Amino acid sequence: MTPGTGPSLVVDVRAWGASGQAVAGRPRRDLSARIAGLLAEGDVDGVYDSRSAVAAAVALGAVAAGWSREDYAAALRSVAHVPGSAGEWVERPARRARRRSPADQERRIATTWRRAVERWHAHPPAVDRPSLGLELAEIRHAMDLHPGMWGGQAGMGNRAVMEALLGIAERAGRLDPTASIRQIAEHTTVTDSTVDRAVDRLVELGWVRINAGAGFVLAGEEAPDGGRAGRALARQLHLLIPAALPAGVDPDTLANPATGELPALRPTSAGVHDVFTWRGLGGVAGTLYARLDPRQPVAVGLLAARSGFARGTVRTHLRRLAEHGLAVATGGGWVRGAGDLDQVAGELGVAGTLAQREERHEVQRARYTAYMTMFANRRGWRQQRGLYRPAGQQRLDMPVQRSGGPLVVPIQAA
């Protein structure tokens, strides 16, 4: 019997991976450009830790492309003669009178393939833009049906980070993009520390899963002194819907009484502006402003139901928006005002806050990369074997977190 078939619709993933068959329902196609490059040339960018990791990445790409294990093995053997390729380890030449036996080759290929099938079933990626759009729409719909999870200051930060991650995933074309805390913060009005705490909360709630942690690797050609350039790796965050969500609210309570549309009001990027930083009107005001429509009035009760904030909180921040012309009360509710955000930011003294934060992040990234590159080149066997030979003795100073000055890497003469 074919693995995964029979009276039960539950797929035995391990048995399917051991069988070597292509995943059911996956039409066979060519490998993506990135995976094809890994197969033919290997890890030229220094992203992976070993050749086995490269072979595993190629196996996962082959599973997603609808290949079988035989197709994967044939592809590895076709590039086994190319130095540095993903298949170099399959039929490598004799080294110190040791050669990989055919049985060992088959065993390693079978193990790598089975693990790739299990990983693909554990969190299958969206393979095209339409599928990705449907996945993101399902996540947003689940978020809309649980507005109580996004109320309060913590909930507001969680929602801001989720919206930022959804936007990053959409631009990256995948549900598991890589993003650092600073990169996420640059798509919100909250601070880095708030983003850090919000990610931890979202992981605990089940909206986000960390597939791979942050790290630092050396990549590229060696310099004359034996050093190599460094590359920082951000965390890989997988967006999903929690397995155990409480019962959602009645959709009728979220529908606009005037139009009956659901959802008619979604947060937009308009709420990411200097005005809505913590020294300005704040994130709650930004959340409400992003939900207001310039033409269709929205009642306070509907805004409260959609956002998860109490009605009193919504009224307070709507009045603050109205003081600066960013919201207008009408007979049927509130609409977005015609006030200029840049002008309001100047009046509040917060103009340029987000741009200054991006500049500070650039300095921090440069300091961190310089420090970790020097540290990674000086550690372990590279220095012990004399492969790293700097012109002078370099002193490592841990980079500071906040600095507007130029990047300086201190060097102490020998």
184-218 pLDDT tens trace? 999 999 999 999 999 999 999 999 988 888 888 88
Query: What pLDDT is stored for residue 97 in this prediction?
Result: 42
The model's pLDDT over 136-163, given as tens digits with 9 standing for 90+, comes to 888 888 888 888 899 888 999 999 999 9
Query: What pLDDT is stored for residue 276 in this prediction?
Result: 94
Query: What pLDDT is stored for residue 406 in this prediction?
Result: 47
Select, from the ranges 11-15, 66-70, 325-329, 375-379, the one with the highest average predicted confidence (pLDDT): 325-329
Select, from the ranges 53-67, 242-256, 339-353, the one with the highest average predicted confidence (pLDDT): 339-353
Coil, helix or strand at residue 59: helix
pTM confidence score: 0.67
The whole-chain average pLDDT of the chain stands at 80
Q: Residue length, the chain?
A: 414
Coil, helix or strand at residue 245: coil
**Residues 55, 89: contact at Cβ < 8 Å?**
yes
Query: What pLDDT is stored for residue 343 in this prediction?
Result: 95
Query: What pLDDT is stored for residue 46 in this prediction?
Result: 75
Q: Which residues contact 372 (CB under 8 A, 6 or more apart)?
A: 216, 230, 232
The model's pLDDT over 265-323, given as tens digits with 9 standing for 90+, comes to 455 667 899 999 999 999 999 999 988 888 888 888 888 888 889 999 999 999 999 99
Query: What pLDDT is stored for residue 189 in this prediction?
Result: 92
Q: Which residues contact 23 (CB under 8 A, 6 or more apart)?
A: 16, 63, 66, 117, 120, 121
Distance between CA 216 and CA 181 in Å, rounded? 15
Distance between CA 286 and CA 81 in Å, rounded? 58
**Residues 4, 12: contact at Cβ < 8 Å?**
yes
Of the candidates 36, 37, 40, 35, the residue with the CA atom closest to the CA atom of residue 85: 40
Query: What pLDDT is stored for residue 246 in this prediction?
Result: 82
Distance between CA 364 and CA 236 in Å, rounded? 20
Query: What pLDDT is stored for residue 411 in this prediction?
Result: 43
The residue type found at 235 is: R
Mean pLDDT of 252-257: 69
The model's pLDDT over 398-407, given as tens digits with 9 standing for 90+, comes to 555 544 444 4
Helix segments in 255-384, DSSP class H: 283-291, 300-307, 311-323, 341-348, 353-378, 381-384
Q: Is the pLDDT of residue 129 over 50?
A: yes
- Using the structure block, give the residue that is written with the tokens 């992040």: 361
C-alpha separations of 134 from 6, 128, 265 in Å: 29, 10, 18
Give the strand pairing for 228-233 and 333-336: unpaired
C-alpha separations of 387 from 86, 118, 128, 223, 412 in Å: 26, 40, 45, 11, 20
Q: Is the pLDDT of residue 169 over 80?
A: yes
Query: What pLDDT is stored for residue 6 in this prediction?
Result: 35
Of the listed ranges 25-39, 83-97, 293-307, 331-345, the least confidently predicted one is 83-97
How many beta carbons lie within 10 A of that of residue 405, not counting itself?
7
- C-alpha dihedral sign at 198, 147, 327, 339: positive
CA atoms within 13 A on the CB side of 197: 9
The tokens describing 84, both together, are 């540095």
Query: What pLDDT is stored for residue 414 in this prediction?
Result: 35
Residue 326 gets the label, from left (phi > 0), alpha (psi -120 to 50) or beta, of: alpha
